Amino acid sequence: MVLSIYDTFSRKPSAITSLNGVVTMYCCGPTVYRDAHVGNLRTFLLSDLIARTIRLSGLSVEMIQNITDVGHMSDDFQEDKMLEQSKKEKIDPFDIARKYEERFHIDLANLNIVPAQKYPRASESIELMLEMISALILKGAAYVGEDGTVYFDAQSFPGYGHISGNRLESLKPGHRYEYVEDGVKKFHADWSLWKPAGDRKAMVWDSPWGPGFPGWHIECSAMSLKFLHGHINVHVGGIDLRFPHHENERAQSNSITGNESVDLWVHGEHLLFEGRKMSKSAGNVVLLDDVIAKGFDPLALRLCFLENRYRSQMDLSWQSISAAHDTIKRWRTKIAIWGASRSIEIDSTILAVLENDLDTPRVTTYLRSVEKDNNLTDAQKANAFLFADQVLGLELSRTQEVQELTPELIDLLAQRESARSAKNWALSDDLRVRLENAGLEISDSSSGQSWSWR
């Protein structure tokens, strides 16, 4: 069996294909002008889960993830995001790119995401893009506009809109990132492949059409076809990239290859935080560093994502992250008690669930039932958890660090127990805050108080 996953293009689950046992994967990477927020990380985790499941099925994966460090225009259609951030931080745009690219890789490591084979940068792939743009012009799929910009001729690609459902004739002028004054393009939905530099001084390269810089969409076509040998089995990205980015990318790539360049288009859904879309204006943009700063294991965020279907909009909260943190601690403790076997046997139930459109919520539910099943041996329970963890990536075999209580904490715990016995709830609450600030988690029950390290 192999993973069958929902394909946005065909609008149905489809089995992943391979060539000589190798699956080629491309995941749209970050635009490195800022830190990736947890919504971005959910998409990057999706590619990791797909790759891990493919490997669990016995196939190999060759994955590429691009680094967008040029060409991605800001929402006001005027300035590249790298240059915009460069002005804000008053440092060179390439320094901006390397700064946030490094942070991106740190985030991936903290989420236990297996690195891709290559992370090509757009700024270092300009020649690839120029070659592709020249080929598109020769094929009649692109042209030089009256403003000196090289445009893709959208009407030259009859299959446009199949991914998103947008009909070319229904698109209104001025859709995001592609607005220019009337008269310079053959058709209002055409998009830029190469833009003239104009007054721009930084991030400018020579080209057959004069100094300039690439459009956003061309980089993924150029890099995916180059580094994945002309064909991509699985292409992953967030649902927000479905249109126009992936629609444009498909048109560009297929115009070069003459056939479908991508077998499956897989999209992860949007992430809300505590009921609202994350935005700077709302002040609710959450980074992985924020999760860590609150004392949570960063893999608690990973577990939160796993407990929601990748194709469903998800509402994340601090409460859900805290609960996931506690669950991971409990599972690691249980596995330490059960004992980890040197060899892990295939659990056909878990594998079948994963290969059925990556149903990770069902896997975590299954593990909870295994945990409580008195008919299973400790060895059977450990095997189920550790087999699943090859995809879940929660490091469940990691030994929990045992930290001794200081005399001061022992005294505070004793004081709080006495306060609870005397029904002095105000003092009890005050002592709880002091204990939690020191790194403990306090739980109360009819049998008394209990504690654990965060």
Please tell me the distance from the alpha carbon of residue 220 to that of residue 256, in angstroms, as a whole number. Answer: 13
Give the relative orientation of helices 360-372 and 348-355 as an angle to the nearest 10 degrees. 160
- The pLDDT assigned to 76 comes to 45
Please tell me the distance from the alpha carbon of residue 409 to that of residue 435, in angstroms, as a whole number. Answer: 7
* Interacting residues of 289 by C-beta distance below 8 A, sequence separation 6+: 35
Query: Residue 212 pairs with which residues in a beta bridge?
Result: 196, 205
Rg for the chain (alpha carbons), in Å?
26
- The pLDDT assigned to 281 comes to 76
401 has binding-site annotation: no
304 has binding-site annotation: no
Chain position carrying tokens 């189920």: 384
Please tell me the distance from the alpha carbon of residue 237 to that of residue 28, in angstroms, as a whole number. Answer: 5
245 has binding-site annotation: yes
220 has binding-site annotation: yes
* CB distance 443 to 450 below 8 Å: yes
Quote the pTM value: 0.87
Residues of the chain with pLDDT under 50: 76, 177
- The pLDDT assigned to 446 comes to 67
Domains of the chain: 4-268 (3.40.50.620), 272-392 (no CATH), 407-453 (no CATH)
If you count them, how many residues does the chain have? 454
* CB distance 178 to 189 below 8 Å: yes
Helices (H) and strands (E) in the chain, counts: 14, 15
- The pLDDT assigned to 332 comes to 93
Give the three-state DSSP class for 417. helix
